[in-house]
Amino acid sequence: MHSKSVPIRTRFAPSPTGFLHIGGARTALFCQLAARATGGEFVLRIEDTDRERSTQASVQAILDGMAWLGLDYDEGPYYQSERRERYQEAVGRLLEAGLAYRCYCSRERLEGLREAAMAAGEKPRYDGYCRDRSDRPEGIEPVIRFRNPLSGSVAFEDRVRGRIEVENAELDDLVIVRADGTPTYNFAVVVDDIDMRINLVIRGDDHINNTPRQINIYRALGAEPPEFAHVPMILGDDGQRLSKRHGAVGVMAWRELGYLPDAMINYLARLGWSYGDQEVFSRQELIDLFRIEDVNRKASRFDTEKLKWLNQHYLREGDRDQALAELLWHMEQAGFNPASGPEPSRLLGVQAERFDTLTELVEQSRSFYQDFDDFEPGAAKKHLRPVAAAALTGLAERLAEVDEWEPDALQRAIQETADALGIGFGKIGMPLRVALTGHGQSPAINQTLWLVGRERSLARIEHALDWIAARTAAGA
């Protein structure tokens, strides 16, 4: 157990321009774990200052994704769009103190500047044209820029990267308020994190380069910067940045693919973070063992194979209620009526070890809930042959007498039938399997019988016998 004296307050601050991304989910998880480990709080804040791109649907998608994963927060969600006065107040202070200034440069001029710099092989940056300007041109809505220090450097101790230092000369005067009066990201985060008393900022390492300028803004605002921890990115299995091209990048897409929230959380936690060689962690263990400084510095690849393995583990040994709830959801998606077949918990008990995902499990359980019309050709040809007719007939008679339709009794019935006929278990098992499910793969045959149920089993055996008879008659 790692105890930290100061409770940590973290925040997850997604911008609502899409669904909850896998990388974002992991960042949120790390934030939650870091906070909970110290008895601190995990805050959710929606960064919707860009009104052009933010949508309510995205906000909902992010909330849904977090809810599904069980990433509950202690405060929020706060919306930046509802905090305009706070930003205005802060800008006012900066303006008054001469730490920010209005810039009337046209986009054209800035564009020209950028091109010229690029052409000269230099870093494109604002040249400070309006930095010391005192007049106020009419008819132009100015943006407000932060007056970044010209000399010296900014350094900070990143909790996962170690010391990072950048020269102020590398930083230019960034825009903190747009012409329309809305704050830009780098300004809004700082104001928010100060107001929300965030003392550990955990975010993707694509923000490392923003940190020095944000620290300058903290100081300009007279606030002590928080601690920072930049976690590495999650790449696709090809080592490239995750994008739609990689298929499922949204968390909820993985639900549809049949994965469990706990498996996803475990996988994500273990991607970039480790505790010795341990692979499986309960939520509580995660909270107890997680330390942000144990997070790796290297970008990692998303490995579906390992997720599958964990998913099966949780399907079999994880939280029963969660697995059942997801199973029901998938059955509904697949159009099954749970009442028309075995109890879902029985299904799960028998099928969990046979599949990695719930989608496969459900798809392969169809015959327990719905009747089928045709046998899978290959399986029928191979196993529903005339020689199987005697076995099936004998079995039907024996099964009709079974008092309790449960695995052990069914197993005995099959064994006795095989013994009576003097044939091996295999000779009777496969024809029965095909008769019951229409194809050649299913749980252990007594379990299959159990799941299909008495009525259906007997009817299907009859049906198979008819099929064999027809085949024989056709001279096959």
Residues designated catalytic: 244
Should residue 15 be labelled a site residue for RNA when binding is judged by CB under 7 A? yes
Should residue 471 be labelled a site residue for RNA when binding is judged by CB under 7 A? no
Minimum CB separation of residue 211 from RNA in Å reads 9
* Residue of 38, 357, 442, 457 interacting with RNA (CB under 7 A): 442
CA–CA distance, 214 with 148 (Å, rounded to integer): 10
Q: Which stretch binds RNA (CB under 7 A): 10-18, 87-95, 332-340, 397-405?
A: 10-18
Q: Which stretch binds RNA (CB under 7 A): 81-89, 167-175, 219-227, 249-257?
A: 167-175
Residues near RNA (CB under 7 A), total: 83
Minimum CB separation of residue 475 from RNA in Å reads 28
| Interacting positions 294-313 with RNA (CB under 7 A) | 294, 296-301, 303, 305-306, 308-309, 312
* Residue of 55, 168, 274, 322 interacting with RNA (CB under 7 A): 274
Tell me whether residue 470 is exposed, middle or buried, using C-beta atoms within 10 angstroms of its C-beta: 0 to 12, 13 to 18, 19 or more.
Answer: exposed
Should residue 81 be labelled a site residue for RNA when binding is judged by CB under 7 A? no
Should residue 206 be labelled a site residue for RNA when binding is judged by CB under 7 A? yes
Minimum CB separation of residue 408 from RNA in Å reads 11
Should residue 349 be labelled a site residue for RNA when binding is judged by CB under 7 A? no
Residue position matching structure tokens 């046998």: 375
Should residue 166 be labelled a site residue for RNA when binding is judged by CB under 7 A? yes
Should residue 55 be labelled a site residue for RNA when binding is judged by CB under 7 A? no
* Residue of 1, 5, 107, 401 interacting with RNA (CB under 7 A): 107
Inter-axis angle of helices 185-195 and 211-220, to 10 degrees?
60
| Interacting positions 172-191 with RNA (CB under 7 A) | 174-175, 178-180, 182, 184-186
* Residue of 124, 128, 149, 236 interacting with RNA (CB under 7 A): 124
Minimum CB separation of residue 136 from RNA in Å reads 15
Minimum CB separation of residue 158 from RNA in Å reads 8
Q: Which stretch binds RNA (CB under 7 A): 36-44, 87-95, 200-208, 250-258?
A: 200-208
Tokens coding 3? 């105890």
| Interacting positions 364-403 with RNA (CB under 7 A) | none
Minimum CB separation of residue 133 from RNA in Å reads 15
Should residue 241 be labelled a site residue for RNA when binding is judged by CB under 7 A? yes
Minimum CB separation of residue 14 from RNA in Å reads 7
Residue position matching structure tokens 């194979």: 305
Should residue 233 be labelled a site residue for RNA when binding is judged by CB under 7 A? yes
| Interacting positions 310-329 with RNA (CB under 7 A) | 312
End-to-end alpha carbon distance in the chain: 71
